[in-house]
Structure 1
Amino acid sequence: MNSTDIQLDIEKVETSRIDQVDFSNLQFGKQYADHMMYCDYIDGEWQTPKIVPYGPMEFEPSAKVFHYGQAVFEGMKAFKDDDGQIWLFRPEQNFERINKSSKRMAIPEFPKEHFFASLQALLKLDQDWVKKGQGNSLYIRPFVIATENGVSASESDRYRFMIIGCPAQAYYNKPIKVIFAQDYSRAADGGVGFAKAAGNYGAQFYPTKLAKEKGLDQIIWTDASSHEYLEEAGTMNIFFRIGDKLLTAPTNDRILDGVTRKSIIQLAKDNDVEVIVDKVSVKYIVEAARKGELKEIFGAGTAATVVRVEGFEYDGEYFDLPAIDKPYGTFFKSSLQDIQYNRVEDPHGWTVKAF
């Protein structure tokens, strides 16, 4: 990640909070690094990015984000290798996707030079928050919100782009149980399912709450029109292993184009694992489970990396997926993390030195 000549206004913390954090017992998304970046869009232009101590910000109750949901975000991670160097994994993908999401939500696209200069400066300041060791990372959350004051139903003319970071370990510390959606939908054709729009996630919370009340962890969403095809889970893309083949749904305007998803597809090809990117029928997966042909289901996402699904419920029936020898999910997680932590050669040029 090359340094740029972009001017930044930087205010450093007087005293770091890092000694107040127990890094051996982190709860995902609850502790935050010392600094944050914000940059305002005013009068048709993005202003000078500012890096300041992490803390509260003040907005008026009429800020449009509170009323019309103009908000998008990204998720990415920084990793520290055994030599203390900090690496980002495919950051260009995250930058491109947040602007793709922004465009769909009528939010002005953020300049590339602002994004990477700010990210580099933040990581330099907060590099001690990126810990060495397997599973440790700094989760980075870029996001943008509408800040114009006014309750008229129209797009905002002011926005704030921000980046915050939180030290992280595993998002899931055990395999999960899921339910195949039959009643609720995550996204519809022509909607904003492909974008990381804040409202996509807010709309999932109620049906996910119902699933958790049944002892399940997540929902695998199905297509909104028929509920016949499996698409993605609440916090990640999803893969199915039938025999020795790997199946995953194609991206479309309902499904997020996951960075981890596309990386696993490439790693599968590198290792001669057949990947079928096509519609995944609920009936086909249920029948494969009945026959014992469904070997694995696993999710893939930035926060989760790869997480095994140990069973699923459909139409009131629960299907166990017993542990198997040499699961694909474990192999791809290990292969991906070896690249992210700079432990092996990166043949695809995915990792980028932070500074």
Structure 2
Amino acid sequence: MYKLRRIVASKSESSNRRGAMAVLVGAMLVIFVAAVAFSVDVAYMQLCRTELQVSTDAAARAAGEALTRSQDMDAARQAARDLAAVNLVALQPLLLDDADIIPGNSDFQENGSWAFTPQGTPINSIRVIGRRTRISPSGSIGLYFAKIFDQDDFEVTRASTVVRLDRDICIVVDRSGSMKWDVEGETAWTGSNMYRFEIPPEPDSRWVALSVATKAFTEALGLTPQVEWVGLVSYASDYTNFGVQNHRVDIDQGLTENHALIDSAMDDITARIFNGATDIAAGIDSGKSVLLDPNNSRPFAVKTLILMSDGHPTSGGDPLVSANYAAQNNITIHTISFGEADLNLMQQIATAGGGQHFHALDAESLKAIFKKIALTIPVTFTE
């Protein structure tokens, strides 16, 4: 009888264990299925975040390119909308409204980052906000298995800012009589070089070295990813001799995307007789007028003036006053000194204009400086 009770009890305990195991397996199966479902939705959410970032980046770059090409903010917004719409996020087009496309100003910080100010001026950036939220034009993103847990969708937002530093550049060059001196020889009008006063600049002159340098500049611009517009101003003083009338300042070429016209304008000056004193202020003022010409400049381009001189101001107004006026109009001034130029003044002008001062010791360094300026100013990136 005792053995029979033991056998019956043993069978009962075994049955209970199997029942408990079945419950445990069932519970674990539910947890496993939930984990699988959760991992599928998590992977899908991450995919959608990546798709949204890619679409937002592409829309921002499209807006930046359109702003460069058209100089029209409405066209930039439309380009962003068009490109976003052909990029699918969660199998649906990304739709943008005007509030998602924000023009502004990006300012480079000392720590290497850029600070974006919405609606800031001068406008050099466009920020695009890509949204898949319940209140966005495209709506939120539906989930698959999370609905089991009463989670029907998720919301995600991404931002991308394109900093488009397109440049309108005016080269302002010294056309005074000293630019006809021999680069390596005499640096004053003496009996041995007085003949240069009566003829166009010779091949060994400072002017010809400058002409070679400006051509290296325009050639280097061809290596940048966008098209810069460039103008040319030359300055000296009002002076007439040898039957030639010398102008205080000439706008030799207005802003143009055809850089060959800049080279040709320099060649035209090289082929003629010029003389005179040095009116740096007039050069800066005319360079400013070229860059701000409402009929021939781009409203959303960064304005840069490159001022070159080989001497001291001997005519005209105060160059620092002119430089400050230019800076108030968001024009950056880089200065290049050559020969006996006033280095302190040229540094002060560059500081007033928020730019850099370079000093050329010879023809080769003058060429290298122009090339460096052409290639080292940033043009476009997305953050």
Shorter-chain TM-score: which interval?
Answer: under 0.3
TM-score normalised by length of structure 2: 0.25
Relative to its length, the structure with more helix (as a share) is 2
Q: Which has the larger radius of gyration?
A: 2
Indicate the structure whose relative CO is greater, using CA pairs within 8 Å and at least 6 residues apart: 1
Q: TM-score, normalised by structure 1?
A: 0.26
- Greater strand proportion: 1
